[in-house]
Structures are given as structure tokens and as C-alpha cells.
Amino acid sequence: AQSVAQPEDQVNVAEGNPLTVKCTYSVSGNPYLFWYVQYPNRGLQFLLKYITGDNLVKGSYGFEAEFNKSQTSFHLKKPSALVSDSALYFCAVRDMGGATNKLIFGTGTLLAVQP
Amino acid sequence: DGGITQSPKYLFRKEGQNVTLSCEQNLNHDAMYWYRQDPGQGLRLIYYSQIVNDFQKGDIAEGYSVSREKKESFPLTVTSAQKNPTAFYLCASSIGTDNNQPQHFGDGTRLSIL
């Protein structure tokens, strides 16, 4: 079965420090991976995706993610955290079971950036 | 501006009542989705539609119904058969199917029980 795991419910980081939000996946075949961010009482906003090519993917708001096939991971990173980055982050993988764009989401990681 | 509009933002349901959540998009997207979000559980797919007049059940379709009579509209009805409807409901759309374009989300409807 295909799945996505976000092992940390919450990540705390000081403003200006680098941040990492972890994601691991389990799929058959090549994965199509996505990161989304959700602010309180809002919908999800797309940050970045990995389909193929360079393992380091750059996205919105200075975020990037590193695809690691051997470790089946797709961790989200940012060199210098901002207080405004505090939000709920979701990793997702495309469901490869059919000709759709269905996504399987992780349970989310709450990022708290302290000033 | 193009986007997805969900209404109402807050909705209250009485016992035995059906309620309908609206989702409209002006992105000219073929595919639309409904998710339910509960704390600590991430997003779970309720129904999705790849094209007008067609839709499929997701992982938690029991107690819900949808229609797709127009490309831009995908309303979700929470029926009285759904015994635990309190949640945040998110509608999304994507350009089409079988491609790798991201889904775009509305700002959600929060449903509570009176």
C-alpha cells in the first residue's frame, strides 16, 4: 500500500536558524511528491513538487526539498526560518493506482518558529 | 482572480439534517476533490470527479454525496447518515487527470453539530 509518513507532529526552531520538516514515503515505482503549507483556517497552498530530475527542488517562499531515493525521503528545508513560516506542513504522494491525480497526504507537521 | 470558492465558511448541522457545502472554481480545471480534515489525521479523500457528470468514491465516502453537473461546481452533501460530521472540509481542483500538476485548494468550510 502507498503511504506517506511525517514522523514529527511538531518542529520548533528559532528565527534565523535552518529548518527541516521530515517526510518519508512508500510507493511502488517512481514517486511523485508534493509539499503543501496550511495557515490557520485556510486551505492548503502548494509549495513544491518532485517528479523527476534534480534531487534538490526549489519552491515558494525560499523553501526547498531534497529527494533521496535510497532513504525514500523527501524532507522540506529552508536555510533561515522566519516567524511567518509558522504553519502546518503536509507532505503528499500521488496515488499511482490509477489515471488520476489523487494524492495521499501525511498527517502534517506543525512548524513553530520562535522570535 | 482565478481560484476556488467554498461557502459557507462556517456551518452548523442539526440532528437528522442534511447540509450542502458549496465549491466553485473558475480555473477551468477538469478534476475536483473533496477532503475531510480532522486534527492529527491529515486529509482524507471523500469523493473526486475527473470530468463533468462523473465522480468516484474516495476513502471515506459513507454518509456523503456529491454531484458534478457543471465543470465549475462540485457540491458536497453531508447526510444524516454521517454520524460524526464535525470537521474541516476542503475542496480542491486540478487541471486534469493523469498528470503531475498540483491541486489547488479552497479555504474550507468548518462544519459543527448543534
DSSP A53-89: S-SEEE-GGG-EEEEETTTTEEEEEESS--GGG-EEE
Q: Which residues in A lie closer than 8 A to residue B101 (C-beta atoms)?
A: 101
A39-51: average pLDDT: 94
Using a CB-CB cut-off of 8 Å, the residues of chain A touching B61 are none
Confidence of residue A60 (pLDDT cuts 50, 70, 90): very high
String of b and e for A20-32 (b: at least 16 CB within 10 Å)? ebbbbbebeeebb
Nearest to A101 among B42, B44, B99 (CB): B99
Pairwise CB contact (< 8 Å): B103 & A90: no
pLDDT computed for residue B83 by the predictor? 87
The answer on pLDDT for A115 being more than 70 is: yes
Residue A101, pLDDT > 80, answer: no
The per-residue pLDDT for B1 is: 61
User: How far is B82 from chain A, CA to nearest CA, in Å?
Assistant: 22
Of the listed ranges A45-49, A82-86, B93-97, the one predicted with least confidence: B93-97
What span, in angstroms and rounded, lies between the C-alpha atoms of B67 and B21? 11
Q: Is A54 on the interface with B (CB under 8 A)?
A: no
CB of B29 within 8 A of CB of B93?
yes
Residue B103 has its nearest CB partner, among A41, A51, A103, at A103
Residues of chain B with confidence (pLDDT) below 50: none
The C-alpha cell at B95 is 487541471
Q: Which residues of B touch A51 (CB under 8 A)?
A: 100
Of A44, A49, A102, the CB nearest to B45: A102
